[in-house]
Amino acid sequence: GPLNNYPELATKFSGVKGVTMAIPMVEGQVLAQGVGDSSTGALVRGIRADDLSKMKSVSGHIQSGDLVGFASGSGVAIGSRMAEQLGITVGGTITLTSPNGDVTPLGMNPRVKSYTVSAIYEIGMSEYDATIIFMPLEEAQLFFNAEGLVQSIEIFVEHPDVVEELRQPIEDAAGRQIFITDWRDRNKTFFSTLEVQSNVMFMILSLIVLVAALNIISGLIMLVKDKGSDIAIL
């Protein structure tokens, strides 16, 4: 069912042992336009101002501006690479276009709206700095036609390596049917590539060592065979 009781669920999840915070979120893809004809695809994440402040990976790496405008609901936060690509500075305007807009007799009209950039952050990960726009949750709900709803609740844990042990406690805390996906599932292709790479590198290095060892052993055997008569005389 729809996540319309997300404040209650976030509070329940935050109380699970091993969970540091639970953040309700609205996500949607948009076309972001800046100065002139510059534009790029972006992922908008609607998030509460208090939750963004708790995300030290973002709030602790503000390159310019602040989160005051974000907290008031009148501004957005973008990454440094996106700001550079679109030619936007703090106080500038970014125009977002979503294909899911208003329904008219002629079909679906795209939704276009401009926002003031109140903060520019730099995490150091291109996935965030170049593509993700943080927007106040209520504004994102209006922009993506999701009033009173969120699409997901992102849960942060103390020890990501033992995330499997938290699945059942989180399901029990929800008290309703939910779908859980963790960082291993969302990055499965990446980890599969690493696994294949490590196996292939092990085989290659093993063959290199084997060839080198055979050359050394065969050289020593031939040397001993060649000097057999001299060794017998000694």
User: pLDDT tens string for the chain (234 positions)?
Assistant: 888 889 999 999 999 999 999 999 999 999 999 888 888 999 999 999 999 999 988 989 999 988 888 888 889 999 999 999 999 999 999 999 988 777 677 667 888 999 999 999 999 888 889 999 999 999 999 998 888 899 999 999 998 888 888 889 998 998 888 889 988 888 888 888 888 999 999 999 999 999 999 999 999 999 888 888 877 776
**Dist CA 232 CA 234 (whole Å):** 5
- Cβ count near 68 (within 10 Å): 12
**Dist CA 167 CA 180 (whole Å):** 7
Paired tokens of 153: 């609740």
The pLDDT value given to residue 229:
80
- Cβ count near 34 (within 10 Å): 22
Q: What sections of the chain are H helices per DSSP?
A: 6-14, 49-54, 56-59, 68-71, 80-86, 126-129, 137-143, 167-174, 183-186, 188-226, 228-233
Helix (H, G, I), strand (E, B) or coil at 182: coil
